[in-house]
Amino acid sequence: MKKTEYQKLLAEAKKISITSVMDDQGMDYIDMRNFAQGIEHDSLMIDKRKNHFYWNSQIEAGKVVSGDVIDFVTVFFDKSHMEALNYLTQESHDKLAKTTLDVTPKEQFSYYFQHDNQLNEVRDYLVNERKLSGILVDALHEKKFLHQDKYKQAIFAWSDTGKAVGATIIGTEVNWSKYPKYGRFKGIAKNSASNYGFNVILGTPDKLYIFESPIDLLSYWTMNPDLSNSMLAAMDGLKEQSVYKFVNQMYLSKGSLPHEGIYLGVDNDHAGHRFFDNLSKLSYVINETGQEIHFKKLIPHDLDIPKENIPIYQEAADSFHVDWRAIAAIHKALTNFNAEGKTANAWNIDHYFSGDTFDLVLESKKVAEQLSTIETTTEEYDFQQLFRVDEGVNPIELHGLHQKVSSYYEDYRNLGYRPTDSLIKDWNDSLRYKVMVQLEAHLLESVYERNGKEQMKIHKDEERNKYVAVSQDSQFHEPFFEADSPEEAAILVKNYGFQAVDKEDRVKYQTENIPETKKQESWMMSR
């Protein structure tokens, strides 16, 4: 065959979509608009935009088996390269026999952990340090979702229709020299299922909640104890294909799909926002009904704005008579207020607030000036005109970024925002912040007494950011103590032998472990 004929044949073959080959050969798959997932081989993912497949459970020469449509035919139907070309370019496709693949499968997961007799160290870490619900932790242990091994590590078992297929491991030993990234060991068990993770199912699920880690999952559940008819799952990172696999698992185990939405509870950082942006472009389509299943944002503290930025936005906005919240919305949408100017949008637009040397004052004025030229009515802006359409940038794709900016602007105006000294990154940070706020409220609202005589009250010195305990008796002027945090103040109250007088306040401001009991116990009983 001449070279020009081969090149022509190759070009024609590559025009054929992998899913059309699957249709012709009767290979079932779940259609996800821009992606497809095999049913017989649930680790088979097809990127329909690139016409490329990834068979994640199959490893060859240390790499995942993947390729284009020609490779797909050679792998699944034992054809040579030229046989695959001829098959793909013929007018009517013959029925092909599936091959017995000569690919070494990944070794199956075997649960190899030796359990400790107790859960005390893992429970202490999860409840006292991570602030998870003690009731929830105990129930997960009772139902064999959570264990403590002989090394005092927390083992979160991955369940696939009742069978353990992997595990997440989190150590309780703190050793920064040994584990410089996190201070403790964090990892995934050997031979754990690909693109899977820790998950629980509550009732008959119609919603899917996705998180980056088991700790984030349990933090959200602790804060929302009334969850029902849901699947909660952790990706152990940011793995798009894990999302599709959890949807498939929901369908196989419960015969249901997340009709009410797929909620992405990823981190409030540039990587989490890019991940959400990528998936927000997509939606599942249920073939039988044509119903779409949408991805929904569940990023913690997503409407927080750095406190120090606000006066800078306001000054720039005043100079050009625009709304400072629109400047904040643009900064948020592009970089998530990243101090190094890292892009936090999936369209990689870096026109404003980008680069490690950007000047916040100058950038805010530049944006304010642009806003003054695209204001349609009072405090309304045509964000479509805000970004240059550079060569190679698809203006249709940019519509997603315009929507993102508009969404934040509307939320800041209608839902409000929270000025903050530091952005809260994940759901566990959010839980611990909530506990700290409740503890602070309890400390500042209570009057404490010792031996039925001495009384004291705690005040917060805002200027020094200190918690100062002072006597209620005017003859005493020296404070009992000063503390740097609500946690330290609470410890010092106990150390000094004081108890809260107002027991109603104590009940009112205690950590909210309350209504979760019934809901979590009912889930455990239904397992």
DSSP codes joined into one string, 283-338: EEE-TTT--EEEEEE--TTTTEEEGGGHHHHHHHHHHHT--HHHHHHHHHHHHTT-
Say yes or no: 85 and 179 in one domain: no
Please determine, for residue 311, whether its predicted confidence score (pLDDT) is greater than 80.
Answer: yes
pLDDT, tens digit, 9 for 90 and up, residues 201-227: 999 999 999 999 999 999 999 999 999
Say yes or no: 404 and 454 in one domain: no
Q: Which amino acid belongs to residue 484?
A: D
Say yes or no: 435 and 453 in one domain: yes
Quick one: the chain helix, strand, coil %, rounded to 5?
40, 20, 40
Per the structure, the complete domain to which residue 261 belongs is given by: 120-297
The answer as to whether 518 is a domain residue is no
pLDDT band at 527 (very low <50, low <70, confident <90, very high): very low
In terms of C-beta density within 10 A (0-12 exposed, 13-18 middle, 19 or more buried), how is residue 416 classed? Answer: exposed
Per-residue pLDDT averaged across 470-487, rounded? Answer: 82
State residue 7's pLDDT score: 83
The answer as to whether 107 is a domain residue is no
In terms of C-beta density within 10 A (0-12 exposed, 13-18 middle, 19 or more buried), how is residue 415 classed? Answer: exposed
Say yes or no: 369 and 259 in one domain: no
The number of domains in the chain is 4
The answer as to whether 245 is a domain residue is yes
State residue 455's pLDDT score: 87
pLDDT, tens digit, 9 for 90 and up, residues 425-450: 999 999 999 999 999 999 999 999 88
In terms of C-beta density within 10 A (0-12 exposed, 13-18 middle, 19 or more buried), how is residue 280 classed? Answer: middle
CATH of the domain at 20: 3.90.580.10
Domain boundary among 241, 275, 297: 297
From CA 387, how far away is CA 378, in angstroms rounded?
Answer: 21
Give the whole-number percent of the chain exceeding pLDDT 90: 51
Structure pTM?
0.76
For the chain, what's the residue count? 527
